[in-house]
Amino acid sequence: MDTYERLWNGWRAAYVGSVPANQPPPGSVFTAILESGLSDEESNIVHRGRKVFVILNAFPYATGHMLVMPYREIADLEDLDAEESDEMWLTVTDAVRTVKAAYQPGGVNVGINLGRPAGGSVSEHLHVHVVPRWIGDGNFMTAIANTRTLPEALVDTAARLRAAWPR
């Protein structure tokens, strides 16, 4: 008999239920969120700029894990136009400042996975990960149970990051 590890994530029902059944969204999940009509609070969008926006990762590696991306659905870094590129990197810097102010992590990972073989799970929509890190954040649950524990609901994380975003 197979055994499965289960970790209750009650918030997932609302997330999964937000996409109509039998209707795959056009484009990426990020495009679907942008076109959904949901408020920033409902969709966990932390910041909106002219060309790029910041959203929480729905499956974060750590509390405060943000994704910075253009509104325009493109897959490759070199497909950004000059304005998108400038705003993207300024926004990544603001996201790092924000997560440091809100959570005081010991470090921050900033990275991009270009293409599915590189680890990009939504490779059709370019995004930059900003992940706060602490000594010991990969604790026994990650190593032994292949499970991440997060001490804060996404809606609370988004509100905290919005409040700390540079004005």
In angstroms, the first-to-last Cα distance of the chain is 55
Q: What is the mean pLDDT of each run of 10 residues along the chain (167 residues)?
A: 58 59 70 94 97 94 94 95 97 98 96 83 91 76 54 89 93
Q: Which range marks the domain in which residue 99 is found?
A: 12-164
Asked if residue 3 is part of any domain, the answer here is no
pTM: 0.79
Asked if residue 87 is part of any domain, the answer here is yes
| pLDDT tens by residue, 65-111 | 999 999 999 999 999 999 999 999 999 999 999 999 999 999 999 99
Asked if residue 106 is part of any domain, the answer here is yes
Asked if residue 2 is part of any domain, the answer here is no
Q: Which helix (H) or strand (E) holds 154?
A: helix 154-164
pLDDT at position 143 is: 47
pLDDT at position 53 is: 98
Residues marked active site are found at 127
Q: Which two tokens stand for residue 98?
A: 């924000």
Asked if residue 136 is part of any domain, the answer here is yes
Asked if residue 134 is part of any domain, the answer here is yes
Q: With 0-12 CB in 10 A as exposed, 13-18 as middle and 19+ as buried, what is 17?
A: exposed
Residue 84 is part of a domain; what is its CATH number?
3.30.428.10
Asked if residue 1 is part of any domain, the answer here is no
Cα–Cα dist 91/155, whole Å? 21
